[in-house]
A and B are shown apart, each in its own frame.
Chain A
Amino acid sequence: MDISPDQLRHRFPELTRHMSRDQRLVLIEHLDPRTISANDRLIQDGESFDVMFFVWVGRLSIVLNFDQQDLIVGSVGPGAWVGEIAVMDPGLACATVVAAEESVVLALTTQAFALLEKNHPVIASLILQVFSKELALRLRASNQLLLDVLSQDENEQPVSLQKRDWIKQVGGHLTGTRG
Chain B
Amino acid sequence: MATLMQFLQTFPQFADFSQSELATFEKAFRVDAFSDGHVFMNEGDHADVMYLILEGEIELRRRRKNKAGYALIDRKRTGEMFGLLSLINNEKHGAMAVAVGAVQVASLPQSAFELLFDTHAPIALHFQRLVARQLACDLRRFNRALRAAVRSNEVGATITTFGSD
Contact = CB atoms under 8 A, between A and B. Distances in A.
Interface string A67-83: 10111100000000000
Contacts of A3: none
Contacts of B160: 66-67, 69
A85 interface: yes
Given A117-B125, A158-B155, A143 B139 contact: no
Which range contains the number of B residues in contact with the other chain? 35 or more
Contacts of A88: 129, 132-133, 135-136
A177 interface: no
Interface stretch (A31-39, A103-111, A149-157): A149-157
Contact of B159 (A66, A144, A152): A66
Nearest to B146: A146
A139 B146 CA distance: 11
Pick from A126, A139, A149, A163 the residue with the most CB of B within 10 Å: A139
A26 interface: no
Contacts of B85: 136, 139-140
Contacts of B67: 151
Interface residues of A, number: 55
Interface string A112-125: 00000100011011
Contacts of B28: none
Interface in B47-84: 62, 64-67, 71, 73-74, 84
Interface in A23-63: 63
B159 A167 contact: yes
Given A66-B159, A142-B139, A151-B65, 15 more contacts: A85-B136, A88-B129, A88-B136, A94-B140, A131-B132, A132-B128, A139-B139, A143-B73, A148-B65, A151-B67, A151-B71, A154-B153, A167-B150, A167-B158, A167-B162
Nearest to A150: B71
Interface string B105-130: 00000000000011010101100110
A147 B159 contact: no
A64 B66 CA distance: 29
Contacts of B125: 117, 121, 124-125, 128
A132 B159 contact: no
A72 B158 CA distance: 15
Interface string B86-122: 0011010011000000000000000000000110101
Please list the 5 inter-chain residue pairs (A to B) with the smallest Cβ-Cβ separation, ordered nearest first.
Answer: A89-B136, A88-B132, A149-B149, A142-B142, A136-B88
8 contacts: A89-B133, A89-B136, A142-B146, A143-B73, A144-B94, A149-B149, A173-B146, A174-B143
